[in-house]
Chain A
Amino acid sequence: MNPSDEAPPTQQPDPRSPDAAPRVSPEVISRRKSCTADGVGLSHYILMEESRPK
């Protein structure tokens, strides 16, 4: 997919807004997401695509 073909579904708030201020961290944080593993980059080449389908 050409990332420029699709507007990125940005979920983050505008980093310039006051909402982007530092927060107090919870006592315990744990996150993990999963998808089909299809990375093929190496240190000689990478294409960082936005909104790439999985």
Chain B
Amino acid sequence: MSAEEMASGRLVNSGGGPSLLPWDIGHATHLAVMEPETAFWSLVRKDRLADALTGGELLALYRQKRSAFEQEMALLRFGLSPSAVYFNPTDRCNLDCSYCYIPQAMRQGGEQMSAERLHEALSRLQDYFAGTMARVGRLPRVIFHGAEPLLNFKALRQGIEAFDGRFEFGVQTNATLLTEEMLGFFQDHRVSLGLSLDGPTAEITHDARHAREGRVEVHGAVLRTLEKLRGSRRHSVIVTVTRHNVGVLNEMVELLHGLEVPACLLNMTRCTLEGGRQARVPDHEAAPPFLAALERTHALYRETGRKLVVGNFANILLAILAPTARRLMCDLSPCGGGRAFFAVAANGDLFPCSEFIGLSSFAGGNLFEGGVRAALESPAFAKVIGRDVDRFDPCRRCAIRHFCGSPCPAEAHEMHGGMDRLGAFCAFYEEQTRYAFRLIADGKADDFLWNGWDQGEGMATLLDFAGGV
């Protein structure tokens, strides 16, 4: 035998060779073969697996691309700097949803930022981003979030007017306070609008979302707004999936598709606080109706030619097909908290992500005192940024860890006792990932992504192979 024939690295899963893990995707003919570290994957016909792992195109592709994939993942996972801020102009909310990640006491009696203070905050953020995004070629984003940001619309309006053209603005709202005038203002200033709606009927919506005092007509307010937004491509809807609505997700996507909503999130309720845990649906009960709702969106697309993109699932597909094209930065490890974005509370405190706003120990500083740079380097931020699925069990042994990222750090910390613990929805992510691979195997994946998702300037094809072993 020659030295070349015995060289280390020629065989799969030994020495310096490729570490390729087969993974069952629940498909009739194909399974996945992956190298987790680089997020390299291939779908291989089951009866050709042995041939694929002992020679042929799969190994040739892997050897050609491994280095590029490794560099790309390193940049995505460790090389980003913030380009967006989730900004709570008030702690308060007029609703009292049991699953909210902001503590009830804050929502009822928390701070409200004055217009002057909000102006100063945007000025400080502008200064920070001027040093980090001057050559990026796009504007930093400020998303007014909550709690309910429209409780402080006057300050918010002044801020958007004063900094128009220096940030891209967005607002996430429950829509109950949204007037015709506000909507016109947001449209005039190209503000992206996210609405929250939890049910296809008023009864289900109100089961999940309560007014703090008296009765607020949440469902009707959102539907009226969505009617006005028909034809716009700058709005989306968040559906928080709980035990109240998990049985009606098909009806939910039918409603949103009928209203021509371009994108929604069907989010499992976050479990950082006890209220969310109480409303949570176990993974094995959540996955079947969730996947059925995805199928329903596909059927609607086939019937009408118009898509309702389910953003959180689309993000899993993107994690597989184009990791750097992810729009959501939760399903990544380390996640985007403190890296791609950070959050500002109504008193100016800075958190890695708004999910941590109720956890005071994760405040990394204050916008008005220490500033952004100090917070980004704080121990509180380092704790979140340091959460790496390559470093703790069972994630470090999981083939799909860089498609899901084991979110969320806040949940891992509060539910499971530390950053080096499993996220809240492990089995649910696994089922989504299997489904995503089945769609790829069947040539349907693009139907679940927005039109032209891979056509933008700067999008490069690193690998595109479909052929024999």
Q: Please report A residues at the B interface, Cβ cutoff 8 Å.
A: 2-4, 8-12, 14-16, 20, 22-23, 25-54
Contact = CB atoms under 8 A, between A and B. Distances in A.
B336 A30 contact: no
A28 B57 contact: yes
A52 B101 CA distance: 31
Nearest to A23: B443
20 contacts: A3-B233, A4-B232, A9-B452, A16-B305, A25-B30, A25-B442, A27-B48, A28-B48, A29-B43, A29-B465, A30-B61, A32-B69, A32-B322, A33-B325, A34-B72, A35-B458, A40-B336, A42-B337, A42-B354, A50-B262
A37 B326 CA distance: 7
Contact of B463 (A9, A12, A30, A44): A30
Interface in B77-107: 80, 83-84, 86, 101
B305 A25 contact: no
Given A10-B452, A32-B464, A41-B315, 6 more contacts: A26-B467, A38-B83, A39-B325, A42-B353, A43-B408, A46-B263
Contacts of A34: 72, 322-325, 459-462
Nearest to A47: B192
Contact of A40 (B30, B44, B341, B461): B341
Contacts of A15: 301-302, 305, 447
Given A9-B455, A37-B326, A40-B141, A47 B463 contact: no
Nearest to A14: B305
Contacts of A31: 321, 440, 463-465
Contact of B450 (A20, A27, A42, A49): A49
Interface stretch (B151-159, B327-335, B389-397): B327-335
B328 A25 contact: no
Nearest to A52: B456
Given A22-B442, A25-B43, A50-B451, A45 B143 contact: yes
For the complex of A and B, list the 3 residue pairs with the smallest distance between their C-beta atoms, beginning with the closest. A54-B458, A48-B263, A40-B84
B1 interface: no
A7 to B, nearest CB: 9
A-side binding surface: helix, strand, loop or mixed?
Answer: loop
A32 B325 CA distance: 11
Contacts of A16: 302-305
The winner among B238, B304, B325 for most chain A CB atoms within 10 A is B325
User: Chain B contact residues (Cβ within 8 angstroms of A): what range?
Assistant: 35 or more
Nearest to B267: A43
The winner among A16, A38, A41, A54 for most chain B CB atoms within 10 A is A41
Contacts of B466: 26, 28-30
Contacts, number: 233
B251 interface: no
A12 B307 CA distance: 12
Nearest to A11: B455
B457 interface: yes
B228 interface: no
Contact of A39 (B326, B440, B455): B326
Interface in B411-433: none
Given A27-B469, A33-B325, A33-B460, A45 B86 contact: yes
Nearest to A10: B451
A5 B86 CA distance: 26
A30 B465 CA distance: 5
A39 B328 contact: yes
A52 to B, nearest CB: 6
A42 B328 contact: yes
Contacts of B232: 4
A53 B75 CA distance: 20
A38 B72 contact: no
B458 A36 contact: yes
A17 to B, nearest CB: 9
A14 B305 CA distance: 7
Contacts of B84: 40
Interface string B228-258: 0001111010100000000000000000000
